[in-house]
Every structure is written in C-alpha cells, then in structure tokens.
Structure 1
Amino acid sequence: MRNYPRNSPQAAARIVALALISDGHVSSSEERALESLDIAGQLGLAPAQFAQIVQTMCEDQSVAHTPAVGQLDAAQLTTLFGEIDDTALRRKVIRLCLAVTVADNYLADGEIALLTAVFRAWGPQPVQTTNRHVALLSAPRAHARTAATT
C-alpha cells in the first residue's frame, strides 16, 4: 500500500475512494454524487487526481491479493485511518464516505463494514448542528403533532 503524507488530500481521498469501491463496484448514482458534491474539490483535488487515487487503490488491492475489491484487513485499515489525525478532516472524510455509500440508496455489507471500521477507529465525533439541521430534525414531530390533533 502506498503512503501519503499525514492529513494530506491524497490520504483523505484514499479513504473516500475505499468507501466508493467497498461494495465491489461504482454505480452511476455514486458517480453522480462524486460530481454533484464536488468530492474531489472538497478534498483539495482535481477530479482527475481523485480518479487516479481510486485507480491506485484498486491496483494496490490487486497486488496485495485482497479477498475482494474494497476490503482490507484490520492492519491495513488501521494504517490508512492513522494517516488522518486532524479532527476537522476526519469529520469531512466521514461525511463524504457517508454521501458516497448512500448515493445508491443501499448499504452493501462492504460499505457497512468500512463505515463501522471508520467510526471505531476515529471514535465518536462531536456533532455540530445548524438551524437548517434542527428544522429538518423537528419537522416529523411537528407533522405528527398536527396529524394527531386533527
């Protein structure tokens, strides 16, 4: 497995790339999420650079004879996750991994395993809410109250 500098855009992109391929393929909805969310740009990379990191990840896995595309053993994951120790960058990577994995409205076993490993490795991250999030979270309860009173 190739090494990237600690907290570099490439190290962060590799984890997102792993999330992208963790179900064994890249769907068209995942590709659209990459483009519409400008995931490469959010990580400080050009789209071609992100694509190269995905390609490199696949090549590294092929050379290492991993059991399946997008699946690494615990030691390899520990190494990759250890390259990111900046809390803000970790939050961004988690958010981008989630966006990629849910883009096709289905979480495959490989995606669940990867997300679980990320959360275990980096521990609980403080959640920051904005007014927009609070409004969305309270909307179902407001609707339920209205429906209950009618």
Structure 2
Amino acid sequence: MKGLVGGVIRTRRQASSWTAHDHGTHVDQGQVAEGAETRSNRSREDMAEIKTAAENSPEAILRVICLFIISDGEVNDAELQALDDLGVFERFGVDRDGFAAIFDGYCDDLIEHAGTARFVGLADPEWVDAILAPITDRVARRTLARMLLLLARSDGFFADAELMIYRQLLDRWSIEVDSLADPD
C-alpha cells in the first residue's frame, strides 16, 4: 500500500523511499511538511478527474472502505483483522491480496487526483462525495454504514478524519445513526 504519513498521501514525485510490507507502509519522512494542501486551494487544471467504480459494485463498496481506512493516514492491522472478522473479504469475493489490489488502485487514483499538488487531503469533501456516489442501494448504504462504525472502533480510536467522513456519509445518504440498530 502506498506511502501514508500523517493524514496525507505523498505523491510518488516527493517520496524518496517507498516500501510496502504486510499491508503496512513506510515512507521516508524527510520531506513531509506541516499541513496538507487540499483541493480547495488548487486550480482545476492541476487535478485529474475523479474516477468512480460501477454503481453498487463490490469494488465501489470496497473503495469506500479504503477511503475510511486510510482517512487517518494509517493502515492498522486491527482494521484489516476487523475486515476479516466482519466477513468483508468473503462477502465481496476478495481475499486480502484482492483487497490490497483495490486499495492500491484507490491510492493511485487519489494520487492522480492530487495532480501537481504535493499533498492531498484524505478527507477532502469533493473526493469523499465521489467515492460515496456509486453506492445507491439503500440496504448497501446501511450495511456499509454499520461496517464502518465497527471498523472505526477496531483500532480503539475514532479519528477526526474518520468522524468527518462518517458524518458526510450519513448526511449524503440521509441515514440517522440511531436508525442503524433497526433492521433493514
């Protein structure tokens, strides 16, 4: 998985060291700067069009999970274990390697979307909306909202970025968090 550092993904142009090991990541932090440049303060010419997956496809759902997992800038082993425990890989017909391929593709798209910017905000509202957009099925939305809530708890910490994304998801999909306890 790509270089995750402090809530931002560094583009390949800035990384002098990339290593992926057992779904963990290391990046040379020599060039990491305070604060991420977000989409809102860059020109449209600097950014690639946002790619989306097919409507309600397993890939679209797994990309939402990727968005959520890396929103805090770190892929935690407990999160991957939670995906196993929740049966996510099995439910969507992938194993860890298949999920890693979707995750890598997601990260490549995010880096491409960053364009010439040195950093991209992982919880950029326009990006989040684009990743959420292909999920149109009511039951899929509610199931995913439940999964993400459990996933957020898996590493023992509900990060600010995870909370921002979760709130945006609930608002976009018109879901009341209390209603998630009700059957579909």
TM range (shorter): 0.7 to 0.9
> How much has 1:67 moved relative to structure 2?
2.5
CA distance in 1, matches of 2:169, 2:138: 13
Q: Does 1:86 align with 2:141?
A: no
Residue identity over aligned pairs, in percent, reads 26
Alpha-carbon distance between aligned partners in 1 of 2:170 and 2:180, rounded to the nearest angstrom: 13
> Counterparts of 2:85 and 2:152 in 1: how far apart (Å)?
14
Report how many residues are paired: 128
The alignment partner of 1:26 has SS state of coil
In the other structure, the counterpart of 1:104 is 155
Contact 1:40 1:47 in 2 (8 A): yes
User: Alpha-carbon deviations, 1:72-130, whole Å to 9, x = none?
Assistant: x3222222222011011111211221122210111111111111111111012544547
Match for residue 51 of structure 2?
Answer: 2
> Residue 21 of structure 1 corresponds to which residue in structure 2?
70
| Higher normalized contact order (CA 8 Å, seq sep 6+, divided by chain length) | 1
Report if the CA contact (8 A) 2:71-2:161 is conserved.
yes
**Which whole-Å CA distance do the structure 2 matches of 1:38 and 1:47 have between them?**
11
Native 8 Å contact 2:61 2:144 kept in 1: yes
- Quick check: 1:7–1:86 contact (8 Å CA) kept in 2? yes
Tell me how far apart the structure 1 counterparts of residues 153 and 168 of structure 2 sit (CA, whole Å): 16
CA distance in 1, matches of 2:91, 2:143: 8
Matches for 1:1-150 after TM superposition, within 5 Å? 1-65=50-114, 67-68=120-121, 70-71=122-123, 73-124=124-175, 126-129=179-182
Write the distance in 1 (CA, Å) between the matches of 2:113 and 2:153.
28
Q: Is contact 1:34–1:100 with CA below 8 Å preserved after alignment? A: yes
Give the TM-score taking structure 2 as reference length: 0.62
8 Å CA contact 1:41, 1:47 repeated in 2? no
Alignment RMSD, CA only?
A: 2.0
Bigger radius of gyration = 1
Q: Is the 8 A contact 2:142 2:175 kept in 1?
A: no
CA drift at 1:47: 3.0
TM-score, normalising length: structure 1: 0.75
Structure 2 residue runs of 5 or longer lacking an equivalent are 1-49
Is contact 2:56-2:140 (8 Å) kept?
A: yes
- Could you say what secondary structure the match of 1:102 adopts? helix
Question: 1:12: how far off?
Answer: 0.7
Q: Which aligned runs of 4 or more in structure 1 are off by greater than 6 angstroms?
A: none
